[in-house]
Structure 1
Amino acid sequence: MNAARTLATTGRVLTQVRHDPRTVALLLLVPSLLIGLIAWIFTDTSVFATIGPAMIALFPFIVMFLITSISTLRERRSGTLERLLSMPLGKGDFLLGYGLAFGLIGVVQTAIAVSFAVWVCGLEISGPLGLLFAVAIADALLGTALGLLASAFARSEFQVVQFMPAFVFPQILLGGIFLPRDQLPAVLEAISDWLPLSFAIDALNAVAADSEDLGYVLTKLGVILAWVVGAIAVGSITLRRRTR
């Protein structure tokens, strides 16, 4: 991989996104609006205080997965990727450039979502707020990396949406949002232990409640980042030049 080519790809993607106001609004505002809707639904109850940290993990993850996977797939379907790879640009440069671009967007998105949840919706955070930001950003990067991985296998935008039940829904159901993971049936708990979103939800819940030490949270954060690196690496190996 070449740093200059990777950064050039990052700049091109950011320029494209900047000229699409609807995509910018979807990326930056929708997660916060959904968090606000959840908080509004559970007004005058303690439910939002319980599930709020998980919502910070869930909505940015889903949005980054969808936007990243569809955007990358369009590069292949339009023939742009084939033209780019005919020049001195490797698959790793392409995917890492996309990952950096959407990762930077994910940082801004997460800052808005966490700030909105804490200072507007009143989500109480007992642990360090900076650590909460770090885990939430890693979660957004996870959605980006898995979106890049899904785009490497999909042949159409419709297939990308079909990957949602395979990549995202099991993580939502088994991540501890609806039921604490230690109360799941043994087999499902074992499966959830290998799902990356589970680590993000566990870490965010631990920071919000200040219920675990720093080592616990950093371990979860390390696993999330390992998934990010692994997804981008596998995606660079399996990415096809063009979808026919």
Structure 2
Amino acid sequence: MSTPLRPYLSTTERILRQLGHDHRTVAMIVVVPALLMTLLFFIYQDAPHPPHGPTLFDKVGISMLGILPFIVMFLITAIAMQRERTSGTLERLLSTPLSKLDLLAGYGTAFSLAAAAQAGVACLVSFGLLGLDAAGNPGWVVLIAIVDAVCGVALGLLASAFARTEFQAVQFMPVVVAPQIFLCGLLVPRDQLPGWLEPVSNVMPLSYAVDALQEVSRYPEATGQMWRDLAVVAGFAVVALCLGAATLRRRTA
């Protein structure tokens, strides 16, 4: 194993080990999105829809497969990193050869693996048990959901750098996440937003994740637009991770 990778790999292994012992967090990551998709199915079960058109569950559900992992991973990651800081673990780690980027990359990798499990389970339940229908391959939905969850991880790490307590980390959720849910196209198509809100929507990663999922819902093959949207979400994740490394503080005060 090459020496430069040891701190990063050790951090990844440590976080995965911690996650493995925290059964409640594992349940929240893996089970909650699938349960919420099940609830959504029953909400829309008897809703009227065109005879030959998609059901409301199909329309909303495919977008939620990107939104739910983003929300859950943002919240869990922000709190977990803040806990490292308040417990003094972060200060001890950064006094070793471990760099800030190694630390955040290790966190990002560990939680991204958890996000992959989350997205896989949520999509399996939605397509396999709840009958969610899309024109494209469900595998593309899983991929988009994973990338979007990784973006949630990166933004959660970035938000934690500005919080002093776990409660403050949670408070970033309505600031960072809620506007994205309102403007991503779930409630109103983005091209129908008021003129001054559309540019705001254009700088939010969740907008591109939902756009990519809508491409999968409409077209049987992966489109160029889907790949562009997915690349934008991944770009947001990389930038957020780098900004998180640049702004990470050892102490809470």
The TM tier, using the shorter chain, reads over 0.9
Q: Distance in 1 between matches of 2:199 and 2:240?
A: 21
Residue 9 of structure 2 aligns with an amino acid whose one-letter code is: L
Q: TM-score, normalised by structure 2?
A: 0.94
* Residues 206 and 212, structure 1, Cα contact 8 Å, conserved in 2: no
Deviation per CA, 1:5-49, whole angstroms, max 9, x where unpaired? Answer: 111000000101101111110110001101110111110332111
Query: Is 1:32 the equivalent of 2:34?
Result: yes
Match of 1:20 in 2: 22
Residue 14 of structure 1 aligns with an amino acid whose one-letter code is: L
Match of 2:97 in 1: 88
CA RMSD of aligned residues (A): 1.3
- Which residue among 217, 225, 229 is the counterpart of 2:238? 229
How far 1:129 sits from its partner (Å)? 2.1
Match of 2:50 in 1: none
Q: TM-score, normalised by structure 1?
A: 0.97
How far 1:119 sits from its partner (Å)? 1.0
Q: Distance in 1 between matches of 2:168 and 2:33?
A: 23
Which is worse superposed, 229-238 or 118-127? Answer: 118-127
Query: Is 1:241 the equivalent of 2:243?
Result: no
1:164-183 paired onto structure 2 within 5 Å: 164-183=173-192
Match of 2:52 in 1: none
Partner SS state of residue 153, structure 1: coil
Q: Distance in 2 between matches of 1:209 and 1:215?
A: 13
The 4+ residue runs of structure 1 with deviation greater than 6 A are none
- Which residue among 10, 13, 16 is the counterpart of 1:11? 13
Match of 2:110 in 1: 101
Query: Is 1:163 the equivalent of 2:199?
Result: no
- Which residue among 207, 226, 246 is the counterpart of 1:217? 226
Identity %: 50
How far 1:160 sits from its partner (Å)? 1.1
How far 1:211 sits from its partner (Å)? 7.6
Residue ranges of structure 2 left out of the alignment (5+ in a row) = 48-54
Match of 1:2 in 2: 4
- Which residue among 43, 46, 56 is the counterpart of 1:44? 46
Name the CA shift for 1:129/1:27 in 2 (closer, same or farther; >3 Å).
Answer: same
Match of 2:51 in 1: none
Q: Distance in 1 between matches of 2:172 and 2:72?
A: 14
How far 1:161 sits from its partner (Å)? 1.5
Name the CA shift for 1:22/1:193 in 2 (closer, same or farther; >3 Å).
Answer: same
Residue ranges of structure 1 left out of the alignment (5+ in a row) = none
Partner SS state of residue 134, structure 2: coil
Which is worse superposed, 188-197 or 204-213? Answer: 204-213
Partner SS state of residue 196, structure 2: helix
Q: Distance in 2 between matches of 1:125 and 1:116?
A: 14
Q: Distance in 2 between matches of 1:7 and 1:44?
A: 49
Partner SS state of residue 173, structure 2: helix
Residue 33 of structure 1 aligns with an amino acid whose one-letter code is: L
How far 1:212 sits from its partner (Å)? 8.0
Match of 1:113 in 2: 122
* Residues 200 and 221, structure 1, Cα contact 8 Å, conserved in 2: yes
* Residues 145 and 232, structure 1, Cα contact 8 Å, conserved in 2: yes
- Which residue among 200, 203, 207 is the counterpart of 2:216? 207
How far 1:143 sits from its partner (Å)? 0.7
How far 1:3 sits from its partner (Å)? 1.6
Residue 216 of structure 2 aligns with an amino acid whose one-letter code is: V
Query: Is 1:77 the equivalent of 2:89?
Result: no
Match of 1:56 in 2: 65
How far 1:59 sits from its partner (Å)? 1.0
Partner SS state of residue 142, structure 2: helix
